[in-house]
Structure 1
């Protein structure tokens, strides 16, 4: 039987020794790598800090560039927006003109229907900021009276937010032919009027009906700005027409100078476009003029004050105002309105949508002078002075005057 063999240590040493050597080498390799990484990290730290600082600096520069780009973009957008707004405004005006052209009344409509259709009245609208005056030439012309020139400039100085226009005869005619092209009866009547003074009277109603605002005779001198006229306790939305009393007769011979006992003045009128009173006076003057032409009486009695008052002046104006106030459908007033409602008036009075001022409001006394007999004067209601220049008296004689 053979002898058993024992394991020899030499035999295992050949496997253990290489394994130990490998472990030692691996340990040294790992420790050497960590040291190398740490050293490299310490060496690279300043460079990384510098790069971070440079990065922040570049970011600030980029931010400044972005702000500059944004500013430029904003300017470009604003410029484009302004261009677009101008374009829209131009298109709006063109469209408004086309709409106006389309607002042609029916061929079968009456004169008043045509006027109401073309010039719509909106009671709640604002009073347009226009001041209209008429004169043969401008304030720059040396022929204009110094007092009238001063009055005209006072209107502009006291009302800087208003469009102030002085219309001469040629411009007035061109305006009426353009604005009233759809109401040929009115244009015909305007052309037929035989004197510049009658046309100037008619023009004031025509421009107020179409455009609204304030008409003031050239011989009126404003004492207060227009916005001061409306009392604080009255809303402008409640008012469509502002007028003043011209004459409040206290003696029985008033017929020698006036056509009505109490007469409303037409030298200063403020109106919203399309107001029924202004529309009616335009219609009446048109009808009267066409009828006079048909009867051959256009040039009859042109130099008579009462004739002018009853044709285009304060006489026909007063009649129309009272007719309107007594028309419940239009004014909403139930009671009968007569001259007694305004006799010795000392404060503004609102009747329907017509605001009536005392006699001294648009005919204030001169400084230092006493008010006319029977007229109480409240300086707070002194809005303008009226010199009372009756220009038709200086008009050249016309053939056929009687």
Structure 2
């Protein structure tokens, strides 16, 4: 084979890459130049009555809330802060078992967070999805808490005062959001869902008798059977054969990886504490190299260079749950795959692991990993992957292309 032939193919590949990158860049510019949704504010009350009544017009400090009237007595005082509303919802949810997800001790309290409660500044897609959460809250009934940025800080100062300096030292808002979604069920309990998630069935029905059945790790022969009430729910985001390269070519760090755009837990579940323990170790390690000061320029630079997917994102959640399972029941992690049993839920101790269809249904042919359509009964929630926290980065986009098509660039940054 001639050197000229090798060089020719190399230039052909580079030409293809260049064309694709140019197309991506032009599409990015088009999206940036496209006008944002401009719904007439006068239409919002008609189109989104629940959002208008319970969120947009809220005068609650720190966010907004809805607590079912059937839960409350006439003597209940109206909460003035979102923190007080969350405490009230927690107390009222404990009154009766029908205020929990079936077969669980997880209270029917929905938590979401955004920078403000002004729905006229939200996108139409966000309004549609949050309205659907509120619809389920009213119909089930469930409590609903919307935490704005001020409410998140109220929460942190109340429940995690010693962690607040580290929380504030983080260089990305998405990392703070990742941490909050772990801490709010840890202290209040309930269901967390990103604003770009859409519930497909009432959360009260997310667990059924079939989900509680014993299951076997076919590689080790160990049978997992638990009679405990479920106290935490996680869903699978990636489900790939562990001996293949498909998972990292799609940008995942584990063959079986959990998502954290939605999760649920009873207050005080130890797996949530395990997440925080691991995070504290990593942050303390950075601080130790900078005289304990995470706010100095050098520490800030080191923190910013950390991959948020690994520090606080899906990989961090996966590693925390994996560590907990290994310590408590000795689980072989990849036994959680749904590739060989049609995608069944798996109860491990008191933690329910939903198959990929649970929180990630309707995936396309590429990267399907056993995901069934959104109208499948096993689909609890749909994630629309708006990724409002992401920004365009040419190196990241090239790395994605390089991994997908060439099986290279495995360790390139993903965000």
The TM-score normalised by the length of structure 1 is 0.60
Match of 2:245 in 1: 252
Give CA-to-partner distance per residue, 1:45-81, whole Å, 9 cap, x none. Answer: xxxxxxxxxxxxxxxxxxxxxxxxxxxxxxxxxxxxx
Q: Tell me what 2:378 maps to.
A: 381
| Residue among 116, 129, 138 paired with 2:108 | 129
Change in Cα spacing, 1:291 to 1:321, as seen in structure 2 (3 Å) is: same
Structure 1's 147 and 376: CA in aligned 2 closer, same or farther, altered over 3 A?
A: closer
Per the alignment, residue 135 of structure 2 pairs with: 157
Q: 1:362 maps to which residue?
A: 359
Structure 2: how far apart are the matches of 1:279 and 1:159? 28
| Structure 1 partner of 2:309 | 309
Q: Is residue 249 of structure 2 the alignment partner of residue 272 of structure 1?
A: no
Is the Cα contact below 8 Å between 1:126 and 1:236 reproduced in 2? Answer: no
Distance, in Å, in 2 between the alignment partners of 1:152 and 1:302 is 31
Deviation at 1:263, TM superposition (A): 0.4
Preserved CA contact (<8 Å) 1:126 1:237? no
* Whole-angstrom CA distance in 2 between matches of 1:236 and 1:221: 30
Aligned partner of 1:350 among 324, 331, 347: 347
**Residues 303 and 221 from structure 1, CA distance in 2 versus in 1: closer, same or farther, beyond 3 angstroms?**
farther
2:189/2:264 contact within 8 Å kept: yes
Tell me, in whole angstroms, the C-alpha distance in 2 between the residues paired with 1:384 and 1:269.
11
Query: For 1:310 and 1:199, how far apart are their aligned partners in 2?
Result: 14
Query: What's the offset of the Cα at 1:374?
Result: 3.8
> Which structure: greater helix fraction?
1
CA deviation digits over 1:249-283, x for unaligned, max 9?
24515335122121011111110001010011022
Aligned match of 2:53: none
> For the Cα contact (< 8 Å) 2:360–2:371, is it kept in 1?
no
**How much has 1:294 moved relative to structure 2?**
3.8
CA apart distance, 1:389: 2.6
Displacement of 1:144 in angstroms is 0.6
* Whole-angstrom CA distance in 2 between matches of 1:189 and 1:339: 33
1:299 aligns with 301
Unaligned runs of 5+ in 1: 1-81, 88-93, 98-123
- 1:290 matches 2:268: no
Match of 1:222 in 2: 199
CA-to-partner distance for each residue in 1:155-213, whole Å, 9 max, x for gaps?
A: 110232222122122220121111223xx1x2222121112111111111111111110
| Contact in 2 for aligned 1:365/1:371 (Cα 8 Å) | no
| SS state at 1:238 partner | coil
C-alpha contact 1:281 1:320 (8 A) present in aligned 2: yes
**Aligned CA distance change for structure 1 residues 224 and 374 (closer, same or farther; 3 Å):** same
Cα distance in structure 2, aligned partners of 1:188 and 1:358: 37
Between 147-156 and 167-176, report the one with greater CA deviation.
167-176
* Secondary structure class of the residue paired with 2:127: helix
Q: Which moved more, 1:372-381 or 1:260-269?
A: 372-381
RMSD of aligned C-alpha atoms?
Answer: 3.1
C-alpha separation in 2, matches of 1:206 and 1:324? 17
Could you tell me how far apart the structure 2 residues matched to 1:86 and 1:348 are? 39
Tell me how far 1:395 sits from its aligned partner.
9.0
State whether structure 2 residue 189 is matched by structure 1 residue 212.
yes
Match of 2:37 in 1: none
1:341 aligned onto 2:336: yes
What is the rounded CA distance, in whole Å, between the counterparts of 1:180 and 1:188 in structure 2?
Answer: 10
Q: Distance in 2 between matches of 1:125 and 1:381?
A: 18
CA displacement, residues 202-247 of structure 1 (integer Å, 9 cap, x when unaligned): 1111111111101111111111000110113549952111011011
Offset, 1:392: 2.9
CA deviation vs aligned residue, 1:354-396 (integer Å, no higher than 9, x gap): 1111112111217xx6695441527111111111233332399
